[in-house]
Amino acid sequence: MRTFREEVEINAAPGRVWALLGDPATAHRYVPGMASSRLQGDTRICVTGDGQEIHEVISERSDETRSYRYEHVKTPMPVKLSRGRFSVLAIAGGSRSKVTVEAELEALAPEMEGGLAEMMGMGLKQTLGNLRTLIEQGA
């Protein structure tokens, strides 16, 4: 199993960051390769640019702690396990934010784990970078 931790600082108050990140249906706006996203009950359904669906159960979502957990229950990736947690913290007296994503990945076959981990690590970094750009440009 591989674990990941990525962080980004965003020049915006935590409430503004959470307004976007805390709405699971907006993932397509900052997650690379997503054409659309919607929430159906506690499941986020994302559709990739090539039409594949990814289903993630969203849990422990809290406006108070500005955090939520996700777990992939349907994905085109060959994984046994893929889950994580996003959180937003106030920094610089509340005028800036730090967004953290912590994730776990276990491939179906051990020989696939390195390649999948590399893809996931890059995807998480791009996701946080896209989120920062979107918010700092006025989303």
CATH of the domain at 61: 3.30.530.20
Question: Is residue 30 situated within a structural domain?
Answer: no
Cα separation of 57 and 80, whole Å? 15
Answer yes or no: are the C-beta atoms of 101 and 86 closer than 8 Å.
Answer: yes
- 92 falls in which pLDDT band (50, 70, 90)? confident
Cα separation of 135 and 16, whole Å? 8
* Domains of the chain: total: 1
What are 122-131's pLDDT values in tens digits?
A: 999 999 999 9
Element holding 15 (H helix, E strand) = helix 14-21
Question: Is residue 8 situated within a structural domain?
Answer: yes
Can you say whether the dihedral through the CA atoms of 32, 132, 128, 69 is positive or negative? negative
Question: Is residue 87 situated within a structural domain?
Answer: yes
Question: Is residue 128 situated within a structural domain?
Answer: yes
Tell me how many degrees the CA angle 94-100-103 measures, rounded to the nearest 5: 165
Question: Is residue 15 situated within a structural domain?
Answer: yes
Question: Is residue 43 situated within a structural domain?
Answer: no
What are 11-39's pLDDT values in tens digits?
A: 999 999 999 999 999 999 999 999 999 99
**pLDDT of amino acid 66:** 98
Is residue 139 scored above 70 in pLDDT? no
Range of the domain at 18: 2-24+56-136
Cα separation of 77 and 107, whole Å? 8
Question: Is residue 113 situated within a structural domain?
Answer: yes
Question: Is residue 47 situated within a structural domain?
Answer: no
